[in-house]
Chain A
Amino acid sequence: MSMGGRVLGLHLGLLVVLFALQFVLPAYHQGNIARIMVLASYAVGYNILFGYTGLLSLGHALFFAAGMYGMGLTIQHAGFTPAPALIAGIVAGALVAGGLALLALRTSGVAFMIVTLMFAQAGYLTILYFGEYTRGDEGFVIQQAQRVLWGIDLIDPTARYFAAWGLFSVCFLLSLWLVQSRFGRTLIAIRENEERVRMLGYDTYAHKLGAMVASGTISAAAGAFYGLLFGYAGATFGSVQYSIFPLLWVLLGGAGTVLGPFVGTLFMFYLIDLSSGVTSAYMLIAGVALVALTLFAPQGLTGEVRRRLWKGLP
């Protein structure tokens, strides 16, 4: 599939701007953007399944947590160094995603939502149950000495920013490439009309399985990096809340657009950050903003841009 110059320019441009921002941002916002980039990677992973394949999962926290604990537990209990630990986290996420996909893809619609929710909830409770190793809700801190990746100390804000940027760049470009590929086109077709795609002779089950594994793996990578970059793993990251967050970010930013997850995460993060500076009622503002967006920008921010300004936006 050919990729328009404008499309490539826009997406690479965002990465260049994010790279350059490092040199101008004050320390506080530098930390924020690093966090947003990791969380946006999570949303990018979510978007592949929800935005492009049309499967609404309420259990992505399971993959995020699988990445986080796959990384954290191997560092904590098996003495792994960060690089293999990250890989362990990502592999754990891919395995969990594949396993859940085999079960959950037997269902569709609301049942799919609830099946994913249920298994994620079981995963969350399992983290609590094995509190001896995971320290449950309290979580555990990954010591500074265990966070040196190839001689780079990730506790240094600049190093952390670039690690987050690297993760985001990979996930972002991967999703751009994926949705423009044959495979991604088929996913979009499945979202629009699964019956017809099946009649055309495509194996829709295999495509959805692939989408779920890809989505889960990217989410797990985000979870693994989140734990490593911010030095903490806790059961909260496996709770329902963390399944709903990426859904919100993606819907706000625009489901089924490559830029959407980042825009949504950025918007939501700063909305809460800025309003909590003004008033303690930041949830009120976030809630009102959510309602207003559904009323006035039903396709999310980037979705509106695509609808009104630029039809070809991937």
Chain B
Amino acid sequence: MEFGPHLILATLEGAVTAAVLALTAVGLSLVFGVMRVVNIAHGEFYMLGAVIAWYVAQMVGGHPALGFVAALVIAPLVVGALAAAADVTILKHIEYDPERTIVATIGLLYVIQQLTLMTYGPEARPVEAPFSGRVELPWYEWFETLFGMAQPWGWSITSYKLFVIFAAGAVLCGVWAMMARTRIGLLMRATQADRDMALAFGIPVERVYALVFGIGAGLAALGAVLIVPIQQAHYLMGVEPLLLAFIVVIIGGLGSLPGTVLAALFIGLSDGIISVFFSPTLAKILATLLVGLVLVFRPQGLFGTRTA
């Protein structure tokens, strides 16, 4: 097989991973940046998004696109509301103390996982993609004497995967616009910069926290809805994105959204590309070691500012 087409294919597959990862990680990064909360249950919000998407798709019926669009709206809202409720009932009462938050969110992880297992069951279930045409990747090469386009089988990607990449990009632009251009974004940034000062200026910090926690979880759920037509919904699916999102958030620099997106691209693409050309396990070993070493020598991450 040729190197060029492989590389393009690996890059596109990696871009799909990166897109979903970016959504999940930006959610985690928001929560981390604004609230200084390490949310171990973030992966479970992702999983809930996928599971709810399956339920919604089942209930709506008709053309797969209808169910998918409904899921795209409903799942993030439901998950966001759940997360906000968890914030108000639990996290607020332990005063966002770092260690206790970790334990509480691990507890939450167990509860969500078990409840999903009890209601949804252990099976992995697919959601049908709204559309899934194949897009042939053009590939040019020399044939004997003339330069022409070759389209051998296999070098194609579903249009849905391209859609995932663009959808994630659009949502991320929306998040950026919200943070940079709207009043609620301003309140969030003020809370992030100095919680006490924000309180003194009459910003309802507790409500901002609940909102941020909800939005963070909602973004994870959105990423999951986008991925279910490619990967099935399963009650244990939250573990891997949690780990990856953590890596991305740290590499990108704490609380830095551009850093997070860039790191997601880097991790997603390198994972896609390395595992095509080398053994996937070896690729993962090298990637994790690299991440560890980057942090050893640049603890503030790529875009973070050094704090004590």
Of all chain A residues, which has the CB nearest B246? A114
Contact B285 A129 (CB under 8 A): yes
B87 to chain A, nearest CB (A): 13
B247 lies within 8 A of A118 (CB): yes
Let me know if A244 and B106 touch, CB within 8 A: yes
A contact patch SS: helix
The answer to whether A107 and B281 touch across the interface, beta carbons within 8 angstroms, is no
Which one of A183-191, A196-204, A206-214, A284-292 is at the interface? Answer: A284-292
Q: Is A295 an interface residue (CB 8 A)?
A: yes
Per the CB 8 Å criterion, the residue count for chain A at the interface is: 40
- B118 vs chain A, min Cβ distance (A): 6
Which of the 9-residue segments A119-127, A139-147, A152-160, A165-173 touches chain B? A119-127
Find out whether the CB atom of B281 lies under 8 angstroms from the CB atom of A129.
yes
Q: Is A294 an interface position by the 8 A CB rule?
A: yes
Q: Which of A111, A118, A284, A298 is the one whose CB lies under 8 Å from B100?
A: A298
Q: Which residues of A271-291 have CB atoms within 8 Å of chain B's CB atoms?
A: 281-284, 286-291
Contact for A248 among B103, B114, B285, CB less than 8 A: B103
B282 interfacial by beta-carbon distance below 8 Å: yes
User: Which residues between 2 and 43 of chain A lie within 8 Å of chain B, taking CB atoms?
Assistant: none
Interface assignment of B296: CB less than 8 Å from any CB of chain A: yes
Within 8 A of A (CB), among B284-308: 284-285, 288-289, 291-293, 295-297, 299-301
* CA–CA, A126 and B284, complex, Å: 10
In whole angstroms, what is the CA distance A108 to B307 when docked? Answer: 11
Bound complex: CA A288 to CA B107 (Å) = 6
Cα A298 to Cα B291 in complex, Å, equals 33
User: Looking at the complex, which one of B107, B247, B291, B299 makes contact with A291 (CB distance below 8 Å)?
Assistant: B107
B110 touching A284 by the CB < 8 A rule? yes
Contact A119/B292 with A108-B299, A291-B111 known, Cβ cut-off 8 Å: yes
Beta-carbon contact of B115 and A284 below 8 Å: yes
- Count of interface residues, chain B, beta-carbon cutoff 8 Å: 45
- Is the CB–CB distance between A290 and B110 below 8 Å? yes
Tell me if A251 counts as interface (CB < 8 A to partner B): yes
B2: chain A residues at CB < 8 Å are: none
Complex contacts, B114 vs chain A, CB 8 Å: 281-284, 287
Could you tell me if B284 and A125 are in contact, using CB atoms closer than 8 angstroms? yes
Asked if A115 CB lies within 8 Å of chain B CBs, one says yes
Q: Are B110 and A287 in contact (CB under 8 A)?
A: yes
24 A–B contacts, CB within 8 A, in A order: A56-B99, A103-B293, A106-B296, A108-B299, A111-B250, A114-B250, A115-B295, A118-B289, A119-B292, A122-B289, A128-B281, A129-B282, A240-B239, A247-B102, A248-B103, A251-B102, A251-B103, A252-B103, A284-B114, A288-B107, A288-B111, A294-B101, A298-B94, A298-B100
Apart from A119-B288, A129-B282, A290-B110, what are 11 other A-B pairs with CB-CB below 8 Å?
A104-B296, A106-B296, A110-B38, A114-B246, A114-B291, A117-B246, A255-B99, A287-B109, A294-B100, A294-B104, A295-B104
